[in-house]
């Protein structure tokens, strides 16, 4: 008999399939809101590696997308009616606060899953050295260009001086 394995399955189900199978989105949203919800879920899922997502992550992503759709529904419903807008502003504010908490939870869990050893060799010193090397290379290129321009000017016929004048003579100096 095979031992029951602990932990997450190696090939977890696709979350869009779970969405379609277990969450009655067609009953929650109307025909115009459903593609918006599914699109938002797709956008949010692209920010994560699906093999590392947990059930809590998926629940938070679904809730964030749902809150966004509900917020748009409230805004559409109160359009053109200032009294309704005042009433719905409290609900919208609650949705936004809840969404912020959900995003913070997702970010915290993502930070917890990051392996600190993976990025341990990279520091501010590495950035500074890279910047210094770029600046040095830039300055060397500029110096070489200026040296070439100087040599070109020195070869120019304009700098022959007065050596070809009739009254010019060679003077030797003892240095």
- One digit per residue, the tens of pLDDT, for the chain of length 175 reads 556 666 655 666 677 777 777 778 888 888 899 899 989 988 888 888 777 788 788 889 889 999 999 999 988 888 888 777 778 888 899 999 999 999 998 888 887 777 666 666 667 777 788 888 889 999 999 999 999 998 888 787 776 666 667 776 777 777 6
Distances 55 to 19, 68, 98 between C-alpha atoms, Å: 12, 20, 18
Cα–Cα distance, 20 to 53 (Å, whole number): 18
What is the spatial distance between Cα 19 and Cα 40, in angstroms, rounded to a whole number? 12
What does the block give as tokens for 156?
């120019």
* pLDDT for the residue numbered 117: 67
Q: How far apart are the first and last CA of the chain?
A: 101
Q: Provide the pLDDT for residue 142.
A: 95
pTM higher than 0.85: no
The domains of the chain are located at: 15-113, 124-158
Instruction: Give dist(CA 97, CA 92) in Å, integer.
Output: 9
Q: What is the pLDDT of residue 49?
A: 78
């Amino acid at each position: 008999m095979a031992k029951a394995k602990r932990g997450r399955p190696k090939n977890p189900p696709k979350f869009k399939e779970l969405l379609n199978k277990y969450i009655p989105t067609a009953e929650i949203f109307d025909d115009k809101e459903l593609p918006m919800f599914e699109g938002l879920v797709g956008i949010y899922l692209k920010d994560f590696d699906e093999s590392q997502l947990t059930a809590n992550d998926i629940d938070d992503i679904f809730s964030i997308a749902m809150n966004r759709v509900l917020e748009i529904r409230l805004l559409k419903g109160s359009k053109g009616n200032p009294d309704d807008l005042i009433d719905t502003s409290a609900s919208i504010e609650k949705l936004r606060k809840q969404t912020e908490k959900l995003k913070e939870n997702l970010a915290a869990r993502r930070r917890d899953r990051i392996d600190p050893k993976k990025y341990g060799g990279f520091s501010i010193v590495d950035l500074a050295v890279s910047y210094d090397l770029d600046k040095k290379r830039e300055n060397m290129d500029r110096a070489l260009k200026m040296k070439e321009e100087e040599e070109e000017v020195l070869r120019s016929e304009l700098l022959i001086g007065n050596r070809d004048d009739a009254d010019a003579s060679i003077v030797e100096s003892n240095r």
